[in-house]
Structure 1
């Protein structure tokens, strides 16, 4: 099988898959291949925090022209995977000198499938891009075409808990990946000082409590497959739920916008995590850490891209000043695509990791805020 992910999250996803019990795990670019049985496919969809899709390849073949693709897709026994009364959706990715238009490849694949049903049964299945019975993935790398079933359905970043969005929300998969990259283990207080819709806080709480990330989803793609084993899935789900643990530290979210605070509270409540997370209207620049408690900060400040701020350099400078003077004894992680503004923080990061927020190349940076001087801390 193949698990798709974001750039920079491949090793995290491979670690997740190994911990869940996958075999023959191999890293690629924005993907990880692995082996597992049907139960493991269910488990990977339910439990992987950094996966976007779990694909189940059913065949691979060489293609040199459009006719090859049509003929070989037509010859697949699609009756094993769906009924003529069902519906389908096809998406394609291509990396080839000859095949260059992914939407056209998806259309030719769809034509071959519906033509097969029409020839054999006199009727054809419908196309439904939103809620199909079967999602099909076509991947062409040079002249090798792989046809896969999409076991996830909608992207796994759609966890199911988010009922209200703010402007420029961070993806749930990216948020979970950043939290894991930061080393958050649930053994300190946690603060998102610019929390927006509360995604980072929600993902952090689920990590701390070992709650399966996709527990709140309404449906996975495999649930509409003819061979879906509901009893097996319920066993997998019950086993994952037994691993949930208690959390004994505090989690906070700040935002200066009334609507963001309201929406964050709604999302946290929807995820059944409001007993762990406190959201308040608060200006981070006027806040201060509780001195005696360890604190882990992680946030996604405005980049001056989709969210504009009047003076981005001054804003980032205030981030550095607040961290230095108000949050000693903390480690702070921040993601931004605004590299010039990042220089204005005025602190030297101890780590820099290249990631992408959507299509924006970004840096995920760590600042270690020592109580007293760094020299004294080392001594």
Structure 2
């Protein structure tokens, strides 16, 4: 099987899959391949916080033309996957000099399936773009084609709790990935002083409580498959063995009363009102930290929505508040402009390279402590150096290259493609060492799925 994800989150997703019992885990570009049974496929859809889709490959072939794609797809016995009454859609992802348009590839796959049925029954199954019974994915890399069943249906970032949103909401998968990369699992307070519609707060609460991210979804793609096992899925969906007790506050605020009203709706819909505190409060009005020590994580506005001088002032204020108010915290700030990070005026301890949509971003970690950086005990500096080395070893190739270019002040050579090395060979995944994996059982239940 293949789990799709966002660029730079592959290592986190691999760890999630291993924790669920996946075998043969290998990291690719924006994907992780693995092996497992039907139960694991159901679990991956319900439990993986950083997966966008879980694909089940059904056919691999090579094609050097559109006609060869058509003929290869037509060779399958489509009655094993569809009926005349089944609606379907095709999602095509193409990285090839042979095929320049993904929609054309999808069109040829659709034609092959429709013609297969027509030649046998004089009827064709219907295509539905909005709500298909079965979603098929065709992935083309040069001339290598993989046809898969999409077991997720809608993208897994659509958790089901968001009923309203602000102008530029953070993708749920990216938010969960940010939290998991930071190492926070609920062992301390969590603060987002620019929370917008509340995505980071909600994802943090679900991580801390051990609530599966797919628990609020109305359906998954595999529920319409002919081999769907209702009893098995109900057992997995209603399993609360991963629930945990969470004893720390999660606190959010925003300068916008409209954003806080939206966040409040989403938090209530997620059933997390008792765990998350929110209020209308500008970041600059924080005079005292809302909790003693913890993690602060935030996604400030980017340059497209603000003037340059406003942006510099905003990030300068963020750095000043972090330094003077949030002593004892680990702070994480997501942005994409080097000038914005420079305006913060604090030295970062780690950098995480991420993508927010099409934007190449960074999340920088700041350890906020009293006094000068070199006043810390020697052992802390040694630990930090080891942590940094481990961090850069584990970050993806593209992230490392971007880090090196930034450190050396290099620009990308003119004409160098951003797609260079986007498809490195798969590599076996080696999980980092973990502590005790036993979860405490949380009191109370979650919605029952019959």
Instruction: Give the whole-Å Cα distance in 2 for the aligned partners of 1:309 and 1:268.
Output: 33
CA positional deviation for 1:73 = 0.7
2:316 corresponds to 1:329:
no
Matches within 5 A, 1:89-100: 89-100=89-100
Instruction: Give the whole-Å Cα distance in 2 for the aligned partners of 1:309 and 1:327.
Output: 26
2:239 corresponds to 1:246:
no
Q: What 5-or-longer segments of structure 2 have no aligned partner? A: 379-450
How does the TM-score come out when normalised to structure 1? 0.97
Deviations 1:200-243 (A, max 9, x none): 0000001011110110001100011111111000111223x221
Instruction: Give the whole-Å Cα distance in 2 for the aligned partners of 1:167 and 1:307.
Output: 13
CA positional deviation for 1:258 = 1.1
Higher relative contact order structure (alpha carbons within 8 Å, sequence separation ≥ 6): 2
Question: What secondary structure does 1:169 align onto?
Answer: coil
Name the counterpart of 1:376: 375
Name the counterpart of 1:32: 32
Name the counterpart of 2:355: 356
CA positional deviation for 1:358 = 0.3
2:66 corresponds to 1:66:
yes
Deviations 1:303-345 (A, max 9, x none): 1224668611011000000000111111100110122122111
CA positional deviation for 1:377 = 3.0
Question: What secondary structure does 2:344 align onto?
Answer: coil
- After superposing the two structures, state which structure 1 stretch, 183-192 or 283-292, moved more: 283-292
Instruction: Give the whole-Å Cα distance in 1 for the aligned partners of 2:45 and 2:321.
Output: 40
Is the Cα contact below 8 Å between 1:82 and 1:133 reproduced in 2?
no
Instruction: Give the whole-Å Cα distance in 2 for the aligned partners of 1:18 and 1:341.
Output: 37
Find runs of 4+ consecutive structure 1 residues off by over 4 angstroms: 306-310
2:168 corresponds to 1:141:
no
Instruction: Give the whole-Å Cα distance in 2 for the aligned partners of 1:104 and 1:75.
Output: 19
Question: What secondary structure does 2:339 align onto?
Answer: helix
Instruction: Give the whole-Å Cα distance in 2 for the aligned partners of 1:291 and 1:145.
Output: 53
Structure 1 residues 158, 309: closer, same or farther in 2, change over 3 A? Answer: farther
Name the counterpart of 2:258: 259
Instruction: Give the whole-Å Cα distance in 2 for the aligned partners of 1:53 and 1:307.
Output: 34
Name the counterpart of 1:57: 57
CA positional deviation for 1:252 = 0.5
Is the Cα contact below 8 Å between 2:6 and 2:355 reproduced in 1?
yes
Name the counterpart of 1:301: 300
Name the counterpart of 1:237: 237
CA positional deviation for 1:82 = 1.7
- After superposing the two structures, state which structure 1 stretch, 368-377 or 175-184, moved more: 368-377
Greater strand fraction, Structure 1 or Structure 2: 1
CA positional deviation for 1:65 = 1.6
Name the counterpart of 1:189: 189
CA RMSD of aligned residues (A): 1.4
- After superposing the two structures, state which structure 1 stretch, 93-102 or 219-228, moved more: 93-102
Deviations 1:135-173 (A, max 9, x none): 000011111111000000010000000000101100000
